[in-house]
């Protein structure tokens, strides 16, 4: 894609949106949900842009407002990462970042700390560049790796607070944060239907630990949002969010994140 078709809407490289987006494919970066209606009003006669953003844009795209204002022959298609697999994490750090690691099982350690959650992987990626000052293609020594892990652990409370902070691309609604806590409490449920039962009919068993209401039918899209953001694991198949539920393993990185998550 030519540089003229890639436009940052927010951030240090942001440019004003043109009155009309160019025909054919284009890529809009750092798009916020509040920009979506404006972008729809600038759709070209031919082709449609890809909008890249965070939690707020994904929430908009999954909601009923996404189709409002679109031409009759247009639709919103949603793409999101979910949790990364160990192979994808290795691809990012070893192929894209071209980093070498002195420690043989460094990326296994990283996966154990992040569980493939994109928010945590992004935090570690910043650590590599901001704390270690390593450029792409360098070798991470054993000492540097320990420093990176320590810096990542020290940054974890701030990462958790960002889920209740002012940045709409990261922040979750209070009920969405409740849903994370609810899933983390479910025990002795080994399949999606069993997990769903614990979050609905059996939720009174957990009320002493977390005094919130059970999940109602209209709240499953919120669970789907958390699955698509990779904060919750999901059974790797297509289907409704409630049909893709997974119980959190004891060592899942979300447990560590929740220890610092504001109410």
Average pLDDT, the chain: 88
Say what the pLDDT of residue 4 is: 54
Please say whether the beta carbons of 192 and 235 come within 8 A: yes
Burial-class residue 6 by CB neighbours within 10 Å (0-12, 13-18, 19+): middle
| Span 239-250, average pLDDT | 93
pTM of the model: 0.90
First to last CA, the chain: 43
pLDDT value at residue 77: 83
Gap between the Cα atoms of 214 and 204, Å rounded: 8
Least-confidence region, from 24-38, 80-94, 133-147, 242-256: 24-38
pLDDT of residue 21: 73
pLDDT the model gives residue 73: 66
Q: Which of 231, 218, 126 is nearest to 171 (CA)?
A: 231
Q: Reply yes or no on whether the pLDDT at 71 is more than 70.
A: no
Over residues 78-116, the pLDDT tens digits come to: 889 899 999 999 999 999 999 999 999 999 999 999 999
26 in helix, strand or coil?
Answer: strand
Contacts of 194 (CB under 8 A, 6+ apart): none
Three-state secondary-structure class, residue 25: coil
Average pLDDT over residues 145-173: 96
Most confident of 43-52, 64-73, 162-171: 162-171
Instruction: Count each helix (H run) and each strand (E run) in the chain, helices first.
Output: 10, 5
Domain ranges, ordered by start, for the chain: 3-67, 86-162, 174-258
Hey, which of 42-51, 78-87, 157-166 has the most confident mean pLDDT?
Answer: 157-166
* pLDDT at res. 9: 77
How do residues 112-158 score in pLDDT, each as one tens digit?
Answer: 999 999 999 999 999 888 888 877 888 999 999 999 999 999 999 99
In angstroms, the CA 247 to CA 159 distance is 23
pLDDT in tens, 183-233: 999 988 888 999 999 999 999 999 999 999 999 999 999 999 999 999 999
Quote the radius of gyration of the chain (alpha carbons, Å). Answer: 20
């Amino acid at each position: 894609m030519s540089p003229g078709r890639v436009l940052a809407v927010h951030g240090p490289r942001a440019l004003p949106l043109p009155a009309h987006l160019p025909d054919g494919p284009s890529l809009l970066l750092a798009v916020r949900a509040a920009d979506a209606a404006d972008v729809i009003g600038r759709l070209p006669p031919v082709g449609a842009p890809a909008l890249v953003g965070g939690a707020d844009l994904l929430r908009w795209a999954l909601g009923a407002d996404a189709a409002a204002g679109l031409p009759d022959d247009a639709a919103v298609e949603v793409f999101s990462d979910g949790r990364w697999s160990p192979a994808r994490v290795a691809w990012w750090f070893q192929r894209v970042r071209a980093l070498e690691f002195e420690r043989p099982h460094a990326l296994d350690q990283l996966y154990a700390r992040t569980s493939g959650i994109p928010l945590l992987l992004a935090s570690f990626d910043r650590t590599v560049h901001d704390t270690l000052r390593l450029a792409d293609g360098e070798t991470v020594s054993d000492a540097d790796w320990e420093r990176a892990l320590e810096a990542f652990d020290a940054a974890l409370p701030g990462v958790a607070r960002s889920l209740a902070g002012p940045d709409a691309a990261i922040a979750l609604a209070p009920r969405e944060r409740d849903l994370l806590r609810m899933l983390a409490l479910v025990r002795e449920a080994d399949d999606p239907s069993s997990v769903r039962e614990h979050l609905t009919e059996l939720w009174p068993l957990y009320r002493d630990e977390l005094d919130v209401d059970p999940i109602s039918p209209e709240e499953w899209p919120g669970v789907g949002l958390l699955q698509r953001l990779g904060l919750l694991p999901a059974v790797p198949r297509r289907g409704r969010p409630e049909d893709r539920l997974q119980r959190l393993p004891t060592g899942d990185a979300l447990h560590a994140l929740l220890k610092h998550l504001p109410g």
